[in-house]
């Protein structure tokens, strides 16, 4: 069968499937739509996309004497088949690493005759914003591995609907150096203000372990939108130990999306940003 003949046949099958669905009582069922999306010639991800429509948020919890594990993501992510699959894979990898470390430490505790402390991993993905092209998610992570205290870290991701691919916020910019230069002044000033709000005076001494403002690109960047159309907001999350001792905790610094920042956005994403006035 030639390529053109194959396409005509696939199209005929697709039309027939849709007509059959339309002839049934009421609206086509989810099964009808999934069947129509699975015929030869339909988009490769059509069936998976149809199955993911209206998928609920995912929330997995497991608690026992060995581990406490929590991992969740919103419906916005669950309804994108490739993204849901990637997050499920990340969830299983995180759980596997947690169990392996917990089993190792439990065995060491039994051998050393000291109490084992339950290990934990709690991770929550949340929607920052959703524009016509981009879905932006933030994640806050709390872990505990049996030591004196737990740890807080952050994660981030962008889903590009046009290219059907997962990105990091910095992938939208030319490079980390130009990004850092564009936000450095406002980012470093924001850290000082955040410290002052906690009653802490920033230590600018050159020999201090926290005397220098770190590169913003080395932290966790969350991109947001005020109108659901353009990216015009940005928050940079800083984990403990990055700009101060553990006791200071973490920081979330709001940084303006300026014209200087938009100038270092890659051309293919330029239309997705809107600088502040």
User: For every residue of 185-242, which 3-state class applies, written as one string?
Assistant: HHHHHHHHHHHHHCCCCCCCCCCCCCCCCCCHHHCEEEEECCCCCCECEEEEEECCCC
What percent of the chain has a predicted confidence (pLDDT) above 70?
A: 80
Query: How much is the average pLDDT of 219-227?
Result: 97
- pLDDT at residue 202 greater than cutoff 90: no
- Chain mean pLDDT for the chain: 87
Query: If we measure between CA atoms, which residue out of 268, 254, 194 comes closest to residue 224?
Result: 254
* pLDDT tier, 146 (very low <50, low <70, confident <90, very high otherwise): very high
What percent of the chain has a predicted confidence (pLDDT) above 90?
A: 74
* Cα–Cα distance measured from residue 238 to residue 138, given in angstroms and rounded to the nearest whole number: 13
pTM over 0.85: no
Look at the alpha carbons of 228, 233, 239, 240 in this order and tell me if their dihedral is positive or negative.
negative
Task: Kindly report the backbone phi and psi dihedral angles of residue 127, in degrees, each rounded to the nearest multiple of 5, phi listed first.
Answer: -75, 125
Cα-based distances in Å from 117 to 64, 112, 120: 11, 13, 10
Q: Give the pLDDT confidence of 105-133 residue by residue, as tens digits.
A: 999 999 999 999 999 999 999 999 999 99
pLDDT at 223: 98
Q: Element (H or E) spanning 17, and its range?
A: helix 3-23
Query: If we measure between CA atoms, which residue out of 4, 8, 32 comes closest to residue 20?
Result: 32
Kindly report the length of the chain: 277
Q: Give the pLDDT confidence of 225-241 residue by residue, as tens digits.
A: 999 999 999 999 999 99
- In this predicted model, which residue has the larger pLDDT, 121 or 200? 121
Residue 261, SS3 per DSSP: helix
* Cα–Cα distance measured from residue 11 to residue 13, given in angstroms and rounded to the nearest whole number: 5
């Amino acid at each position: 069968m030639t390529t053109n003949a194959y396409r005509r046949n696939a199209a005929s099958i697709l039309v027939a499937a849709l007509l059959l669905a339309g002839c049934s009582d009421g609206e086509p069922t989810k099964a009808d739509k999934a069947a129509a999306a699975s015929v030869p010639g339909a988009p490769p991800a059509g069936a998976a996309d149809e199955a993911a429509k209206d998928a609920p948020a995912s929330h997995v919890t497991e608690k026992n004497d060995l581990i406490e594990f929590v991992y969740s993501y919103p419906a916005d992510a669950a309804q994108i088949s490739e993204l849901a699959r990637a997050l499920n894979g990340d969830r299983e990898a995180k759980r596997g690493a947690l169990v392996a470390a917990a089993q190792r430490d439990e065995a060491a505790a039994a051998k050393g005759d000291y109490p084992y402390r339950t290990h934990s991993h709690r991770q929550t993905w949340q929607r920052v914003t959703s524009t016509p092209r981009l879905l932006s998610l933030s994640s806050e992570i709390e872990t505990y591995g049996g030591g004196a205290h737990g740890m807080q870290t952050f994660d981030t991701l962008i889903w590009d609907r046009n290219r059907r691919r997962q990105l990091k916020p910095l992938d939208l910019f030319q490079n980390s150096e130009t990004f850092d230069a564009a936000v450095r002044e406002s980012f470093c000033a924001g850290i000082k203000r955040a410290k002052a709000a906690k009653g802490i005076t920033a230590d600018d001494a050159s020999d201090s372990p926290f005397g220098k403002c770190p590169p913003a690109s080395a932290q966790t960047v969350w991109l947001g939108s005020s109108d659901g159309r353009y990216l015009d907001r940005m928050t940079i999350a800083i984990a403990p130990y990055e700009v101060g001792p553990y006791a200071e905790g973490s920081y979330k610094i709001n940084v303006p999306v300026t014209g200087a920042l938009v100038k270092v956005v890659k051309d293919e994403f330029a239309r997705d940003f809107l600088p502040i006035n």
